[in-house]
Structure 1
Amino acid sequence: MPVQQLDSPAKSATSVGTPPVIRLLVLATFIVILNETIMINAIPRVMGALNITEQTAQWLSTAFMLTMAAVIPITGWFLQRVSTRSAYATAMGLFLLGTASAIVAPSFEVLLGARIIQASGTAVMMPLLMTTLMHVVPEQNRGKVMGNVTLAISVAPAMGPAISGVILNFGSWRLLFAAVLPIAALITWGGMKQLKNVGEPEVSTIDWFSVVLAALGFGGLVYGLSRFQGGSIGQATGIVVAGLVAIAVFVFRQMSLQKLGSPLMDLRTLKHRTYTIALILMSVAFMAMLGSMILLPLYLQNVRGLSALQTGLLVMPGGLAMGLLGPSIGRLFDRFGGRVLVIPGTIVITLALVGFTQISMSMPYWQILALHTLMMVALAATFTPVFTLGLGAIPPALYAHGSSILGTLQQVAAAFGTALVVTVMSARADSLEAKGVAAALANLDGMRLAFIIGAVLSAAAITTALFLPARTGSNAGKVGHGH
């Protein structure tokens, strides 16, 4: 059982600073997550170079998200079965292989395959970081260290489009992968030199039926949701329903496997009230965040006529503020608990989204910048405590499964948020254009309505936040030792 071995690293992690193992994993996670959004600006270049349509090119981003949704459910089982070093070597090995393949990809099919391999590595990396953090860092310091993790997880996607905009000025889209490869290789080498194993792997068999169900269920759900953009609504709904049916069968399968002690995803984590509330809150906040991350570039580029690079630079301060404030927010959490941060955080997110419902053809750029930065800071104040409280509420034996469920739901919430805002925006714009309204004004009105939906979602997050405790009692950890 890994739990018995875990006290030693916790004691050796001093109450000051972040343990070196976490620093390494944060750095690796930053690089692999950066890659998720780095392709956004490159789509037009790839279309020209490989002679493909925009719909086909979008698969480079969609397939990444789909792979994450299909692979993350398996990581809870995988992380318990292999050593920390093996998990790290697998994640970074896949990522390096995918990146190297992308540099030399002669066709779209090879590039798509390379993105899928990259995403498989990324899918292992995030739960590995969260699980190791919960095992290695003592409870009283978790907020601060989780703040550093938020820095990697939030700054990377925000920086992706801006960094790729700069790199694309110097050469082709292949340069994006060529720039990432040596950095990732260096981090992998450093990690393999310094990384120690945390806990001992357990030996258990894998239920392949569950693996197939997870891939079909979560992958199908995310794919169906992505089809709402420009696809036929009937077909998209059919795929979503099929995905939900597969997930329902998956849940029943896990419940029967739990009795035998070998589930692929251990759903006993959901019996812990604080963890479940944190999951709901994270999902709703993620939907609101992803929805606005999609809408804002569309507004700035399609309505206001900014270039991809200008758009990236305008939203960059918000991403940086969110990341840089992460550690300070973590320290506040360690001192005062979660409610003090999460309740004001969700209120400010809602207010920022209400501000965005006022977008117009001439809204000053400083106002957009201020609203975006305000929202990102409020998201940092929400995510760090929510992750820490949620995972802190479950016994150590379930950390790997808790991280895996959290990661899976993040992908589903992201896909749902994106599908929701794009569908609402397009439907509203189409109906107005049919009535003779100019395309730009119809689009603008569609975006306003989509922001209103984002604001309603985040208002629901405020209500959920009221149910969170200030902090997780240390008794949660004690439960794990008897596990």
Structure 2
Amino acid sequence: MNQQTSNLEEVKRAPMVAVMLIGAFVGLLNETLLATALPSIMADFGILETQVQWLTTAFLLTNGIMIPISAFLIERFTTRQLFITALSIFALGTFVASISHSFELLLAARVIQAAGSGIMLPLMMTVMLAIFPVEKRGAAMGMAGIVISFAPAIGPTLSGWLLEFFSWRGLFYVVLPIVIIAIIVAAIYVKNVTKQTFPKIDILSILLSSFGFGGLLYGFSSIGGHGPGEVSSGINGTALTIIIIGAIILTLFIIRQMKMNKPMLEFRVFKYPIYSLSLIITAIVLMALIGAETILPLYMQNTRDFSPLDSGLMLLPGAIVMGIMSPITGMLFDKFGAKWLAASGLTIVTATTFLFTNLSLDTAFSYLVIIYAIRMFGLSLVMMPVMTAGLNQLPVEWHPHGTAMANTMQQVSASIGTAILISLMTTTVANYQPDQTQLEGLTEQEAMAQVAGNAAISGYTTVFWLATILSIVGLVLSFFLKTKKNELANEKAA
């Protein structure tokens, strides 16, 4: 521990934090970087929506498998070793993606990327908790919040702009040199600030974790992994079986961890009620964030015939709002705590999500821009304050496990949420029954276009109704968070 303190005194904190933020930024950026590029990839490889979504789902799936293992890795290796290795793996996946000439190779590259990305985010958050005292964590985590919130938000905009000039492979050409520079800077500035306890490798725990979390995510993702006419058979058959098997394996993993003196992932973090509550709220918020960023580009490009750049520009003001607000929200958290910030933010999220249930075939571009930007403002008041409030409940020695668990739940909720929303959308479209009176006087071609457009709108409307209900649940739960007094009490306990 003294060595860690010495390292903190020797190294410049700012460059180390900066390069870790950059590493986590490019990792999270790639969660949504392909959002506006999905139609182009579909056309390039001749695949369907339900297939191309796996480029996002597989990324989240692999993250969901790697993040639980990250707690073990953080305690086993130095900060420097682990961060540089994670960046290098991510760089390899990015390079493979940039030269992919088949959907299968591109999908494999996304898996490799996520294997590195899944380590970087929990490591960054653990380092933040290690080098900043409780009273300054809000501001520090606010900086992390720029990464966690802004990176996925700016992904669709950046890809939309790049697609005006390059093919979808250009998205990876842009990211690769940034990652290489980050590796070089990390080799200079990153020092070890985390505590190494050298836990023994428990192969059975790693296998149970991988197949449990992986099976659960794969099963839910497979619900939407069929054509519209096959959705119901997927839910009733293979997907449901995989979900059940994944849940059983995950239960065995949890039982094993509870019995171990030094578990790979510490599930006793859930004995802290505010921590558990913060994970539930964060999961709901992330489903709302990722869901909108997946559905809106599909609505704009496939239903409204907007270009990828237009789709990205629609999301840009919201991304900017999120980036500006994250550090401000962090400072507000240090002063007031999470409760009222979260309640205010979720009220805004609920209202704006409800407004998206009114999408039509002629909804104004300005309406989409304004409502989405206001929605992102609301999300910025929730994300990092709630997460920081939860992590502050935990003792120092459980921080790696707390951050790993938090990030695991985020990836699980994002992956499951995306799959459920896509599945709900495709099911609604498949079961849409047109009003025949609206088709009178139209040619056959006009009637088909009208039916297809209305069917798609019904799918988007259903999705945003579900998102509205989830937002209301999150809003109710936010009133059970504690005020600043609880943070101060926890500081004394720590």
Task: Indicate conservation of the 8 Å contact 2:156/2:293, yes or no.
Answer: no
Q: For the Cα contact (< 8 Å) 1:5–1:199, is it kept in 2? A: no
Deviations 1:413-452 (A, max 9, x none): 1122223322333333333237758221122123222211
Mapping for residues 82-121 of structure 1, pairs under 5 Å: 82-105=77-100, 107-121=102-116
**C-alpha contact 1:218 1:243 (8 A) present in aligned 2:** yes
Match of 1:246 among 246, 249, 253: 249
Supply the distance in 1 between the matched residues of 2:205 and 2:169 (Cα, whole angstroms).
37
1:473 aligns with 2:487: yes
Post-superposition Cα deviations, 1:251-272, rounded to whole Å, max 9, x if no partner, equal: 1111111xxx221111111111
Task: Answer with 129-138 or 169-178: which moved more.
Answer: 169-178
Q: Structure 1's 51 and 416: CA in aligned 2 closer, same or farther, altered over 3 A? A: closer
Partner of 2:342: 342
Letter of the 1:170 counterpart: F
Aligned to 1:372: 372
Name the CA shift for 1:354/1:109 in 2 (closer, same or farther; >3 Å).
Answer: closer
1:162 and 1:47, CA in 2 relative to 1: closer, same or farther beyond 3 A? same
What is the CA deviation profile of residues 28-51 of structure 1, one whole-angstrom value per residue up to 9, with x for unaligned ones? Answer: 111122122222333454456556
Q: Which of 195, 199, 208 is residue 203 of structure 2 equivalent to?
A: 208
The one-letter code of the counterpart of 2:79 is T
Q: Are residues 1:169 and 2:164 paired?
A: yes
Q: Helix, strand or coil for the counterpart of 2:306?
A: coil
The whole-number CA distance in structure 2 between the counterparts of 1:84 and 1:132 is: 8
- Aligned partner of residue 458 in structure 2, secondary structure: helix
2:214 aligned partner: 219
| Residues 424, 46 of structure 1: alpha-carbon distance in 2 compared, 3 angstrom cutoff | closer
1:103 to 1:447, Cα distance in 2 relative to 1, 3 A = closer
Aligned to 1:453: 466
> Compared with structure 1, are the counterparts of its residues 141 and 230 closer, same or farther at alpha carbon in structure 2 (3 Å cutoff)?
same
Aligned to 2:307: 307
Q: Decide whether the 8 Å contact of 2:127 with 2:194 is kept in 1.
A: no
Contact (CA 8 Å) 1:19, 1:137: kept in 2 or not?
no
Structure 2 unaligned segments of length 5 or more: list them: 227-233, 439-450
Letter in 1 for 2:408: T
2:444 corresponds in structure 1 to: none
- Mark the CA change 1:44 to 1:292 in structure 2 (over 3 Å): closer, same or farther: closer
Q: Secondary structure at the match of 1:172?
A: coil
Q: 1:270 maps to what in 2?
A: 270
Assess, with a 3 A threshold, how the Cα gap between structure 1 residues 368 and 176 changes in structure 2: closer, same or farther: closer
Q: CA deviation at 1:145?
A: 1.5
Contact kept, 8 Å, 1:396 with 1:477, in 2: the verdict is no
2:384 corresponds in structure 1 to 384
Give the drift of 1:55.
5.1
> What pairs with 1:19-418 in structure 2 (closer than 5 Å)?
19-46=14-41, 56-105=51-100, 107-231=102-226, 232-234=234-236, 235-257=238-260, 261-418=261-418
Q: Which amino acid aligns with 1:80?
A: E
Q: Is the 8 A contact 2:50 2:224 kept in 1?
A: no
- Secondary structure class of the residue paired with 1:265: coil
**What do residues 206-237 of structure 1 show as CA deviations (whole Å, max 9, x unaligned)?**
21111111111111111111122252222222
**Could you tell me which amino acid in structure 2 is paired with residue 249 of structure 1?**
L
The 8 Å contact of residues 159 and 312 in structure 2, kept in 1 or not, is answered as no
Partner of 2:230: none
Summarize the Cα distance change of 1:270–1:7 in structure 2 as closer, same or farther, 3 Å threshold: farther
Report how far residue 57 of structure 1 moved: 4.2
Partner Cα separation in structure 2 for residue 453 and residue 330 of structure 1: 29
Partner Cα separation in structure 2 for residue 352 and residue 53 of structure 1:
30
More displaced stretch, 306-315 vs 165-174: 165-174
**Structure 1 stretch 308-317 or stretch 292-301: which is displaced more?**
292-301
CA distance 1:279–1:10, change in 2 (3 Å)? farther
Amino acid across the alignment from 2:59 = F
Does the 8 Å contact 2:163/2:308 carry over to 1?
no
Gaps of 5+ in 1: none
8 Å Cα contact 2:36-2:312 kept in structure 1: no
Q: Offset of 1:59 from its aligned partner?
A: 3.2
Moved more, 307-316 or 293-302: 293-302
Deviates more, 1:177-186 or 1:100-109: 100-109
Q: Distance in 1 between matches of 2:145 and 2:429?
A: 36
Q: CA RMSD in A?
A: 2.4
Indicate the SS of the match to 1:433: coil
Q: Cα deviation per residue 1:59-95 (whole Å; 9 max; x = unaligned)?
A: 3322212111111111111111111101111111111
